[in-house]
Amino acid sequence: MSPMDESQRLDLLQFASRPAAPVPSNPIAICLSRLTTDEKLQGAFAPFGRLLEAKVVTDRVSGRSKGFGFVRYATIDEAEKARQEMNAKFLDGWVIFVDPAKPRQPKPAPQQDTRSSHAGFTTNKTVGWCG
């Protein structure tokens, strides 16, 4: 194995001394007014740290707000500060509630129900969940 030349050694030292990229915090979930936009959400939460994302969740068909959104900060400390400062505050005339977001639970597989039709044929109908 050959020894490293000076330029390789300097490259390695520069690489090792670079600051690590910030690890994004867990997202924060917010109950919002249906009038709140991405821009308003970003403006309200920007003072608490380096905001990586601010998104109001909208209906795919109508494009209207579903009444909640998410923000994500560069650090967990910034996210916690925002959560403490903004919880139960007013935004767009609405008291907002701010909590750590929980990962989505996987949806259960639909149950299959076999029923006979009036003609004596068997059908395979999916039983859905309402609510």
* Cα–Cα nearest to 30, from 76, 80, 67, 75: 67
CA angle 82, 32, 69 (to 5 degrees): 70
Q: Which two three-digit tokens encode residue 88?
A: 């139960």
Q: Tens of pLDDT along 116-128? A: 444 444 444 444 4
**pLDDT for 60:** 95
**pLDDT for 59:** 95
pLDDT-flagged residues of the chain (< 50)? 1, 12-13, 15-16, 20-24, 116-131
Cα-Cα end-to-end distance for the chain: 67
**pLDDT for 127:** 45
| pTM to 2 decimal places | 0.62
**pLDDT for 131:** 38
Domains and CATH numbers, the chain: 22-100 (3.30.70.330)
**pLDDT for 25:** 56
Instruction: Report how far apart, in Å, the C-alpha atoms of 68 and of each of 6, 71, 77, 113, 119 are.
Output: 55, 10, 22, 35, 48
Sequence-ordered alpha helix ranges (H) in 1-131: 6-17, 38-45, 76-86
* Cα–Cα nearest to 96, from 50, 25, 41: 41
Indicate the SS3 state at residue 124.
strand
- Mutual angle of helices 76-86 and 38-45, in 10-degree steps: 100
Confirm if 28 and 100 have CB atoms less than 8 A apart.
yes
Return the DSSP state at 60.
Answer: T
**pLDDT for 28:** 87
